[in-house]
Chain A
Amino acid sequence: METLMAYAIGVLFGCAVYMMLRRSIVKLVIGLIILSNAANLLIFAVSGMTRGAPPLIPEGMQLPEGAIADPLPQALVLTAIVIAFGVLAFSVVLIHRAFEVVETDDLDQMKDTDT
Chain B
Amino acid sequence: MSTEVALPVFIPLLAGVLSLMLWRSRKWQRRLAILGTGLLLASTLWLLSSTLDQGFVVLQLGGWAAPFGITLVADLLSAVMAVITGLIGFAIALYSLGTIPDRHEKFGYYPLMHLLLAGVAGSFLTGDIFNLFVWFEVMLLASFALLTLGGERAQMEGAIKYVTLNLFSSALFLSAIGLTYGLTGTLNMADLAYKLSQVEHTGMVNVVALMFMISFGIKAAAFPLFFWLPASYHTPQVAVSALFAGLLTKVGVYALYRLFTLVFVGDTGYTHTILLWSAALTMLTGVLGAAAQFEFRRILSFHIVSQIGYIMLGLALYTPLALLGGIFYLVHNIIAKTNLFLISGLTYRLLGSYDLKKLGGVYRERPGIAILFLVSALGLAGIPPLSGFFAKFLVIKAAVEVEAWVAVVVALSVSFMTLYSMIKIWAQVFWKPVPEDVDATRLRSKERDPGMVWLLTPIIGLAALVVLFGVWAEPLYQVSSDAAAQLLNPAGYIEAVLGVTP
Write the residues of chain A forming the contact surface with B, with a CB cutoff of 8 angstroms: 20, 25, 28, 32, 35-36, 38-40, 42-44, 46-48, 72-73, 76, 79-80, 83, 86-87, 90-91, 94-95, 97-98, 101-102, 107, 110-111, 113-115
Beyond A35-B168, A87-B167, A113-B154, list 13 extra A-B contacts (CB 8 Å). A32-B168, A38-B171, A39-B171, A40-B174, A42-B179, A44-B178, A47-B182, A48-B182, A73-B178, A76-B178, A80-B133, A87-B137, A94-B148
Complex alpha-carbon distance, A83 and B154, angstroms = 28
Write the residues of chain B forming the contact surface with A, with a CB cutoff of 8 angstroms: 130, 133-134, 137, 140-141, 144-145, 148, 151-154, 156-160, 163-164, 167-168, 170-172, 174-175, 177-179, 181-182, 187, 231, 235, 295
Contact A80–B160 (Cβ < 8 Å) = no
Contact A87–B140 (Cβ < 8 Å) = yes
Determine how close the nearest CB of chain B comes to the CB of A80; give it in whole angstroms.
6
Contacts of B141 in A (CB 8 A): 86-87, 90
Contact A42–B178 (Cβ < 8 Å) = yes
Determine how close the nearest CB of chain A comes to the CB of B353; give it in whole angstroms.
11
Contact flag A36-B178 (CB < 8 Å), given A90-B145, A94-B144, A102-B156: no
Contact flag A43-B156 (CB < 8 Å), given A83-B134, A86-B141, A87-B140: no
Contact B160–A94 (Cβ < 8 Å) = yes
**How many inter-chain residue pairs (CB < 8 Å) link A and B?**
106
Complex alpha-carbon distance, A48 and B252, angstroms = 30
Contact B137–A110 (Cβ < 8 Å) = no
Determine how close the nearest CB of chain A comes to the CB of B328; give it in whole angstroms.
34
A-B pairs with the 4 shortest C-beta distances?
A: A46-B182, A43-B178, A98-B156, A39-B174
Complex alpha-carbon distance, A47 and B56, angstroms = 32
Contact flag A83-B179 (CB < 8 Å), given A40-B174, A101-B153, A110-B156: no
Contact A111–B157 (Cβ < 8 Å) = yes
Contact A102–B167 (Cβ < 8 Å) = no
Determine how close the nearest CB of chain A comes to the CB of B187; give it in whole angstroms.
8
Contact among B134, B164, B182 for A32, CB-based, below 8 A: B164
Contact B178–A39 (Cβ < 8 Å) = yes
Contact B175–A39 (Cβ < 8 Å) = yes
Complex alpha-carbon distance, A28 and B163, angstroms = 11
Complex alpha-carbon distance, A36 and B177, angstroms = 13
Residue of B nearest to A73 (CB): B181
Contact B140–A20 (Cβ < 8 Å) = no
Contact A20–B154 (Cβ < 8 Å) = no
Determine how close the nearest CB of chain B comes to the CB of A30; give it in whole angstroms.
12
Contact flag A113-B153 (CB < 8 Å), given A20-B168, A94-B148: yes
Contact B175–A42 (Cβ < 8 Å) = yes
Contact A114–B158 (Cβ < 8 Å) = yes
Residue of A nearest to B166 (CB): A87
Contacts of A35 in B (CB 8 A): 167-168, 171
Complex alpha-carbon distance, A107 and B167, angstroms = 17
Determine how close the nearest CB of chain B comes to the CB of A92; give it in whole angstroms.
11
Determine how close the nearest CB of chain A comes to the CB of B493; give it in whole angstroms.
23
Complex alpha-carbon distance, A32 and B163, angstroms = 10
Contact B134–A113 (Cβ < 8 Å) = no
Determine how close the nearest CB of chain A comes to the CB of B49; give it in whole angstroms.
34
Contacts of A86 in B (CB 8 A): 141
Contact B153–A80 (Cβ < 8 Å) = no
Complex alpha-carbon distance, A39 and B231, angstroms = 27
List 25 contacting pairs A-B, 8 Å CB cutoff, sorted by A. A20-B164, A25-B160, A28-B160, A28-B164, A39-B174, A47-B178, A47-B182, A79-B134, A83-B134, A83-B137, A87-B137, A87-B140, A90-B144, A94-B144, A94-B159, A95-B160, A97-B156, A98-B159, A102-B157, A107-B160, A111-B157, A113-B153, A113-B154, A114-B235, A115-B154
Contact B168–A46 (Cβ < 8 Å) = no
Contact among A44, A46, A91, A113 for B156, CB-based, below 8 A: A113
Contact B163–A94 (Cβ < 8 Å) = yes
Contact flag A97-B148 (CB < 8 Å), given A36-B171, A38-B171, A47-B182: yes
Complex alpha-carbon distance, A76 and B140, angstroms = 19
Contacts of B167 in A (CB 8 A): 32, 35-36, 87, 91
Contacts of A39 in B (CB 8 A): 171-172, 174-175, 178
Contact A46–B179 (Cβ < 8 Å) = yes
Complex alpha-carbon distance, A40 and B174, angstroms = 8
Residue of B nearest to A70 (CB): B185
Residue of A nearest to B140 (CB): A87
Contact flag A76-B137 (CB < 8 Å), given A39-B171, A107-B160: no
Contacts of A73 in B (CB 8 A): 178, 181
Determine how close the nearest CB of chain B comes to the CB of A63; give it in whole angstroms.
15
